[in-house]
Structure 1
């Protein structure tokens, strides 16, 4: 499956990480289910995917609020991340996005704009051997308002020294597309795992 890119030219490509560059969302969901199971907290798969791009601490706070729980945010954050790291050996890239990364590297600057922590993003990109292809990483904790607010993408454009209107965003969630649109950027939607079909 190849991605249909909007008309360019573009001065930079901005990529979401989980579910866009790396097919990590199923692994993240398994980690969430295990970590939350220890607190008897349900996390529906549909909700998980609709919240794609939301920082981990915000997800925990939202689940606490929804379920009337008081799960410790930092402790659960570290537990969930640890469970995800244990599964990194099973991590694969999203083929049609990796194709664009390899084809365009060196011709145009790249940034990763993620709701995951810098440590998680770095580990994921290292597993795929492509960390060195990205000029800038903008991760959770490095901006005050997460997606769907435009701030993360605008910050990436600023760090790359390019105008927002000249950036193309690769995203797999509606929340991420809304963020890109609010930043005045064009975007391309990467299919979710079930939309791509089993590989």
Structure 2
């Protein structure tokens, strides 16, 4: 199991992709295939730097940076469809799943993700753990994405737990920055593989 910081926590907040589910390779492959259809090659470095950002934000940023005209809704839908095709090959992150198994039923859990609700529920359902989470905060449930603290603060509010009593499990720098800005303790989840 991953070591936890000292303290008595009243809630665990988890990022999903790369934290609970080792789905980053599937996300990257879906992005590569989708953007290739629009003549853009997404580097692995940029993909990981933007981990945790909502899909629509990424597409809008690529359009702006590179003078592209990708239609947001169409590209998001295509990327989501490709991700769902690849999802069965994803696995859980053992060190995080051990904490979920250990603490389930004792303290409430939330997922705080930059992914869409259908992608998050499909990922958790694929691992058979969707029913363990009291709250899901996904893209569209907040105005400002990570690294803004709003997504984590929203989850704490929905769980009825003060931010300082929440422990966040997160793999991405943007998410860690968001959790720290929310005044929450953080466990950095090492990425199982990159490349």
Range class of TM-score, shorter chain: over 0.9
Say how many residue pairs are matched.
195
Cα deviation 1:64-100 (Å, max 9, x = unaligned): 1121101111000000000000112101001100110
Cα distance, 1:192 vs. partner? 1.5
- Distance, in Å, in 1 between the alignment partners of 2:77 and 2:36 is 15
Cα distance, 1:194 vs. partner? 3.0
- Distance, in Å, in 2 between the alignment partners of 1:192 and 1:91 is 13
Q: Equivalent residue of 2:193, what SS?
A: helix
Cα deviation 1:171-197 (Å, max 9, x = unaligned): 0011100000000000000012337xx
- Distance, in Å, in 2 between the alignment partners of 1:92 and 1:104 is 20
Which aligned pairs between 1:103-114 and structure 2 lie closer than 5 A? 103-114=102-113
- Distance, in Å, in 2 between the alignment partners of 1:41 and 1:64 is 10
Which aligned pairs between 1:98-137 and structure 2 lie closer than 5 A? 98-137=97-136
- Distance, in Å, in 1 between the alignment partners of 2:51 and 2:38 is 22
Is 1:59 aligned to 2:58, yes or no? yes
Q: Hey, what does 1:91 align to over in structure 2?
A: 90
Cα distance, 1:157 vs. partner? 0.2
Is 1:145 aligned to 2:177, yes or no? no
Q: Hey, what does 1:162 align to over in structure 2?
A: 161
TM-score normalised by L of structure 2: 0.98
Cα distance, 1:19 vs. partner? 0.4
Say what the alpha-carbon RMSD is for the aligned residues: 1.1
Q: Equivalent residue of 1:193, what SS?
A: coil
Q: Hey, what does 2:39 align to over in structure 1?
A: 40
- Distance, in Å, in 2 between the alignment partners of 1:74 and 1:193 is 31
Is 1:80 aligned to 2:44, yes or no? no
Cα deviation 1:111-154 (Å, max 9, x = unaligned): 00000000100000000000000000000001000000000000
TM-score normalised by L of structure 1: 0.96
